[in-house]
Chains A and B, each alone.
Chain A
Amino acid sequence: QQQVKQSPQSLIVQKGGISIINCAYENTAFDYFPWYQQFPGKGPALLIAIRPDVSEKKEGRFTISFNKSAKQFSLHIMDSQPGDSATYFCAASDQDFGNEKLTFGTGTRLTIIP
């Protein structure tokens, strides 16, 4: 089964710090890498996504960095805030199959402390 490996499983960051979550994939056919954010008791919601034709994508305080040769991508949250406390899932798929083959990582529970 195709895998997306996510680390760390949990992360505690002080308010104002940088939160970094890493993912690695195996299937070189993957060409779509979204991140989903899930608050307790809620369903996940799309946060940001990247395609491998760029090495970085930034939306506000959230940045995806992508390393195609290493088959790794990461989420950086700058100036982390208590409201960012949530579980984050990376995922990967390829355009030919789209969501029906979207493979999720195991999730990272992020806690931002004052």
Chain B
Amino acid sequence: DGGITQSPKYLFRKEGQNVTLSCEQNLNHDAMYWYRQDPGQGLRLIYYSQIVNDFQKGDIAEGYSVSREKKESFPLTVTSAQKNPTAFYLCASSMSTGGFGELFFGEGSRLTVL
């Protein structure tokens, strides 16, 4: 089955530690995205990538980093510089960023910083 796989589903970390969330897709999509979901705030775009080895900041990129070394993979690192990292993180992909392309989401990773 084609889809987006995020891991881990749940993650606990101590304050000050960097954390990397995995996102893999087998849909052969060019574009991939990372969103953060907080209660009452909807989905906010962290980073997106249109092609391999290229990515752009979204609306709330501070304290996060990404890489796109392979078309299938778009890992997100939550760094110690992120002031409020506890959240639900969603990875998504689409055929491209432009036009009216449907976003396909993974099941999310819930990060709790203690």
**In whole angstroms, how far apart are the Cα atoms of A49 and B48 in the complex?**
22
Contact yes or no, A106 B40, CB < 8 A = yes
Does B106 touch A at the CB level, under 8 Å? yes
Query: In the complex, what residues of B have CB within 8 A of residue A89's CB?
Result: 42-43
Query: In the complex, what residues of A have CB within 8 A of residue B104's CB?
Result: 45
Contact yes or no, B103 A102, CB < 8 A = yes
The listed residue (A32, A34, A44, A105) touching B105 by CB distance below 8 A is A44
A residues 47-77 in Cβ contact with B at 8 Å: 49, 51
Does B59 touch A at the CB level, under 8 Å? yes
The segment out of B12-20, B75-83, B93-101 that lies at the interface is B93-101
- A positions within 8 Å CB-CB of B: 1, 6, 9, 32, 34, 36, 41-46, 49, 51, 89, 95-100, 102, 104-107
Q: Which 7 A-B pairs have the closest CB atoms?
A: A43-B105, A98-B98, A104-B42, A104-B43, A106-B42, A100-B97, A46-B102
- B positions within 8 Å CB-CB of A: 4, 31, 33, 40-45, 48, 50, 56, 58-59, 90, 92, 94, 96-108
